[in-house]
Amino acid sequence: MIIDFIQPLTSSVTSTLHSIFMLSSSRHYWLYMACYLAIATALYFYAKPKSSQHSFIQHLFPRQIYTHPSVILDLKIWFVIILVVKFGIFGILYTIVGKFSALTDSIFDLLGPAWQAERSNEAPGFMDRVWFTLILTCCIDFGFFIMHYCQHKISWLWAFHRVHHSAEVLTPATANRHHPVDYTLEAGTAILLGAIGTVVFTRYHGTEVDRLTLLNTSAIHCVYYMTANLRHSHLWLSFGQWPSRIFVSPAMHQIHHSIDQKHYNKNFGFVFSFWDWLFRCRYIPTTREDLTFGLHNNEFGYKGLIDSMVRPFRESFGKLASIKLWARKSPWTNT
């Protein structure tokens, strides 16, 4: 009886851990975490201030950060995300939308035969795959960007996204500190735009093209994940001025989490920073800046896991009732 209960539970835990640490499509894949440690080590030996007295272990895992109550809430919310995505209603929706090929086929069917008539049997070449990978990545990345932009501009979306920004310290686990609604909206928008981009490319190219892969995932996203875990961390890594005009550095995302007024609503991008340039919200730091994370003074944090999951629904419903309340007000607006 007990064994019948334990075996499925053990299998579920094992498969979950495998999907987190052993699949290259996960940002916490073991190789990406190894890259995080390797870069952190390089920063300790080559970029550590001479006045710093921290040991190597303190540099990697500062006690004041990793024992902070905010980190405990990070892990609790991450656990909820795993449960919701794996078993809950949002997980069902995410799985349906996440069936990329089925979604593109559905769009083709919706558009009708005219969009399928000119398909070619000619095998795509290497440059076809390069262009498709770039276009697909741009579509997906713009999906993440535009939803992220809306989450900061529209008050009822901010009610859910604020859970992520309530983190007072940043660790790699903070990347999963998202309300399930927030998580589903971001992923759903990105996947939908990616599917539309695939349909358009296939229509005008004449045949289906596979993206370039590295470690069985998109080549561009694989390279992105090599530094992605530093985005939510205490470690400062800037790409410099010119590369940052194209790619979002970990330092730029940390700026996004800052509560300093000059950093407010800056750097919404994930992979590419030129979306921020187009929307006039890009901020490229010229030197390391001292940052404070969390919510602004006029916004209340969360008392715990249940509060962070329930309160966003209550707050968003109040905002949805009136379109006049949709625009999120600046924390520095005196009203």
Question: Are 275 and 133 a contacting pair, CB within 8 Å?
Answer: no
Question: Are 107 and 199 a contacting pair, CB within 8 Å?
Answer: yes
DSSP annotation of 229: T
Q: Please tell me the predicted confidence (pLDDT) of residue 116.
A: 56
Residue carrying the six token digits 């093209």: 209
- The pair of structure tokens assigned to 237 is 């890594």
With H, G, I as helix, E, B as strand and everything else as coil, classify residue 275: helix
Question: Are 77 and 308 a contacting pair, CB within 8 Å?
Answer: yes
**Angle at the Cα of 38 from the Cα atoms of 36 and 43, rounded to 5 degrees:** 95
Q: Say whether pLDDT at 97 is over 50.
A: no
The pTM score is: 0.90
Question: Are 305 and 278 a contacting pair, CB within 8 Å?
Answer: no
Q: What confidence category does residue 109 fall into, taking pLDDT thresholds of 50, 70 and 90? A: low
Buried b (16+ CB within 10 A) or exposed e, 280-296: ebbbbbeeebebebbbe
Q: What number is the average pLDDT over the span 87-115?
A: 57
> Tens of pLDDT along 274-314?
999 999 999 999 999 999 999 987 788 898 999 999 999 99
> Tens of pLDDT along 167-213?
999 999 999 999 989 988 998 899 889 888 888 888 887 778 888 99
Q: Say whether pLDDT at 108 is over 70.
A: no
- The pair of structure tokens assigned to 113 is 């035969």
Backbone angles phi, psi at 148, to 5 degrees: -65, -40
Question: Are 194 and 256 a contacting pair, CB within 8 Å?
Answer: no
